[in-house]
Amino acid sequence: MRVCLAGVALATMGVLGTGLGAASSAAATARTWTVQPGGAVAAAGTITLTDSRSGASDTCTSSTMSGTLKAGSGLPGSGIGSITAAADGGCGHIGTHDLTARGLPWHLNLVSYDAATGMSRGTISHLKLAFSIPACRAVISGTSDSTADGVVAVSYTSKTGKLKILPHGGTLHWFHVSGCTGLVRPGDVATLSAGYAISPPQTIISP
């Protein structure tokens, strides 16, 4: 059963945005990439944070990221992009900034490419989020609340200019949980699911 964490927050008020390690890093350096035009980029869309055990979730209707992409050809996939700012608003029913980005800059790493679809796959790493509302507080990261080492799987399609954060293939967990009426527990698996329009649109290929 899907439970909205923000709804729980209102009821108790009285609960509840956005790379895979050594294997991915090795794969990312095994092929080269071409990125045009590169440079400064911005992303805008929506994001959903979910506790996999309970199904509790929070959706933020205004999610933005900005940073830079390397430009040119013959580029390694590891660290091909840097996300230096991220913000989420319009979360749940309380209209506040539930999620706060930590561990910036996050790193974009590219791993594989499908020439037929123009889709690149990879990860965003070094990710950490803080979640805080009156009824529920927690940290989302990879291995602990003190380390920014979370990873999410991503895809980017040059034909559409859309970046997606995929709900499977990440390493996120909940830590330092306070309140949350049992819907979120320390060590629970956390997932992010998001869709962003990239501006300016980028052409990313791996020859």
Fill in the amino acid letter for 138: A
Whether residue 27 has pLDDT greater than 50: no
Average pLDDT over residues 61-68: 95
Higher per-residue pLDDT: 90 or 194:
194
Report the share of the chain in percent with pLDDT over 90.
71
Q: Give the confidence band of 89 by pLDDT, cuts at 50, 70, 90.
A: confident
pLDDT in tens, 103-112: 999 999 999 9
- DSSP per-residue string spanning the chain: --EEHHHHHHHHT-------SHHHHHHHTTSEEEEES-EEEEEEEEEEEEETTT-EEEEEEEEEEEEEE--EEEEESTT-EEEEEEEEEEETTTTB--EEEESPSEEEEEEEEETTTTEEEEEEEEEEEEEEETTEEEEEESS-TT---EEEEEEEETTTTEEEEESSS---EEEEEEEGGGSS-TT-BEEEEEEEEEES--EEE--
Q: Give the confidence band of 140 by pLDDT, cuts at 50, 70, 90.
A: very high
How do the domains of the chain map onto residue ranges? 3-205
pLDDT in tens, 33-53: 999 999 999 999 999 999 999
pLDDT, mean over the chain: 86
* Angstrom distance (rounded) from CA 51 to CA 58: 9
Whether residue 7 has pLDDT greater than 50: no
Whether residue 14 has pLDDT greater than 90: no
Average pLDDT over residues 40-68: 94
Fill in the amino acid letter for 74: G
State the CB neighbour count (10 A cutoff) for residue 108.
27
* Angstrom distance (rounded) from CA 91 to CA 75: 37
Cα dihedral 76, 77, 82, 83 in deg (nearest 10) = 170
pLDDT in tens, 154-202: 999 999 999 999 999 999 999 999 988 888 999 999 999 999 999 999 9
- Identify the CA nearest to 189 among candidates 204, 169, 207: 169
Rg (CA), the chain: 17
